[in-house]
Amino acid sequence: MAEASTITFFSTLLPPFQPNIQVSHRPLSFPRKPQVRCSVSAGATPQNTVAWGCEIESLESASALQNWLSESGLPPQKMGIDRVEVGERGLVALKNIRKGEKLLFVPPSLVITPNSEWSCPEAGEVLKRNSVPDWPLLATYLISEASLMESSRWSNYISALPRQPYSLLYWSQAELDRYLEASQIRERATERINNVIGTYNDLRLRIFSKYPDLFPDEVFNIESFKWSFGILFSRLVRLPSMDGQVALVPWADMLNHSCEVETFLDYDKQSKGIVFTTDRPYQPGEQVFISYGKKSNGELLLSYGFVPKEGGNPSDSVELSLSLKKSDASYKEKLELLKKYGLSASQCFPIQITGWPLELMAYAYLAVSSSSMAENFEEMAAAASNSTISKKDLRYPEIEEQALQFILDSCEASISKYNKFLQASGSLDLDVTSPKQLNRRLFLKQLAVDLCNSERRILFRAQYILRRKLRDMRAGELRALTIFNGFRKFFQ
């Protein structure tokens, strides 16, 4: 099993997902006529949705998946797929399960990795020849297999995948602007959507357009890529004991996330299967959970399309944006130093209920320091960047009060954005466990309200701590001033 520190479910910040694919610079050779024509179904895809997968709550396709997996070598399970309260479909204990028990044992033959065989080998060869990285490769693989319907060995798996995964990839820019205006997650979602579009355009330009027989537009289009990336973002795992290999693990990917467990999927060398070890007991009928990693509510919404209940996620955090003032006489000099350390004039830092990173304080020192402290600017910029090993816990008592006030101002500006959105949203308290019953607008709005409430709660806590620190500091200064004045009078 993976150690707690190793997050096996895909992290929203995982470096391997590159915005644009790095295809080899070798010119593409003119396509040879394939010996075996792959029959890619070229029927028109209905707008905004793909022609495969199922409604997310569908149990019929899930039980067909279960039967196929058992026939294909999945050993007898202590869990079954069922409708659940959290996550719509999930794995439920069929028998008593002990704490510390290993479950699943999915054999590698039932796992999709970048090395999986393609039903249409020519398509796979073209992508590999062009050194397409794992993520775009797997995204294309999924579409290719899905389009082959029953001719693909993965057809039972693909039929049980959601036709429209819950993911911010499916939010329009207008929806993101309207519902997530207060949260930094809006920028992350826009960036991600642009990355997916950029990746697709790059593949189309460099590869698909040159091999239209293998990659017809009707199948390999932006809608199908949104779907396949949505599936990857919400289901792909990284397996530490398989050298960090990324994989789609049928059956295991029916497990939902709980912030209260700390158990991750990994390859078990002893049993030669994908397993996880329970960290609590389960009774028959109870839903079994794993952890998708220590992620904030915003990150969970971004990749998986849900927000845990307020206060229920110990890893929750909110991004606070700090900016240099354009009116600062040393603006240019400070900006250059920030750039040198990979930062910019406007920078986000994660705040947790337990506090904020030292980098944030260093940035605040830099933002408030006057030109008389110019010799310290570089030290501050370096400490604000987490890529440096320099001492981060800087202290400049002469500007500490100003720096804390600067953070408090940014925090309060952010809180007022959340207040504005939450007031305008009214007191929504809808049941999002059955989103299909709500209309889309209310569903998205409720997710946004839940996210904003949880992010604002963290900011409120930071505001309280900052105000108290400043009050204590100012009271201390006042006391010192009174004592000083007392001494002055005494000596006069």
The contact set with ligand SAM (CB under 6 A) reads 56, 86-90, 162, 165-166, 234-235, 253-254, 256-257, 304-306
For the chain, give the longest Cα–Cα distance: 104
Nearest approach in angstroms of CB 438 to ligand SAM is 14
Annotated ligand binding at 456? The verdict is no
Instruction: Please state, as a whole number, how many other Cβ atoms lie within 10 Å of the Cβ of residue 243.
Output: 8
Nearest approach in angstroms of CB 432 to ligand SAM is 8
Annotated ligand binding at 235? The verdict is yes
Spatial distance between the Cα atoms of 38 and 32, rounded to a whole number of angstroms = 14
Nearest approach in angstroms of CB 98 to ligand SAM is 23
Give residues with Cβ within 8 angstroms of 344, minimum separation 6: 335, 338
Taking alpha carbons only, the member of 42, 248, 22, 288 closest to residue 154 is 248
DSSP output for 67-111:
HHHHHTTPPP-SEEEEE-SSSSEEEEESS-B-TT-EEEEE-GGG-
Spatial distance between the Cα atoms of 197 and 19, rounded to a whole number of angstroms = 9
Annotated ligand binding at 115? The verdict is no
Annotated ligand binding at 267? The verdict is yes
DSSP output for 166-208:
-SGGGS-HHHHHHHSTTSTHHHHHHHHHHHHHHHHHHHHHHTG
Nearest approach in angstroms of CB 135 to ligand SAM is 17
Tokens of 103: 């479950």
Annotated ligand binding at 243? The verdict is no
Annotated ligand binding at 200? The verdict is no
> What letters, b where the CB count within 10 A reaches 16 and e where it falls short, cover 23-39?
beeeeeeeeeebeeebe
Beta bridge partners of 237: 9, 247
Instruction: Please state, as a whole number, how many other Cβ atoms lie within 10 Å of the Cβ of residue 144.
Output: 24
Annotated ligand binding at 48? The verdict is no
Nearest approach in angstroms of CB 418 to ligand SAM is 22
Residue 44 Cα distances to 165, 216, 221, 302, angstroms: 21, 11, 11, 29
Nearest approach in angstroms of CB 212 to ligand SAM is 33
Residues tagged in the binding site annotation for substrate: 235, 253, 267, 292, 304
Residues tagged in the binding site annotation for S-adenosyl-L-methionine: 235, 256-257
Residues tagged in the binding site annotation: 235, 253, 256-257, 267, 292, 304
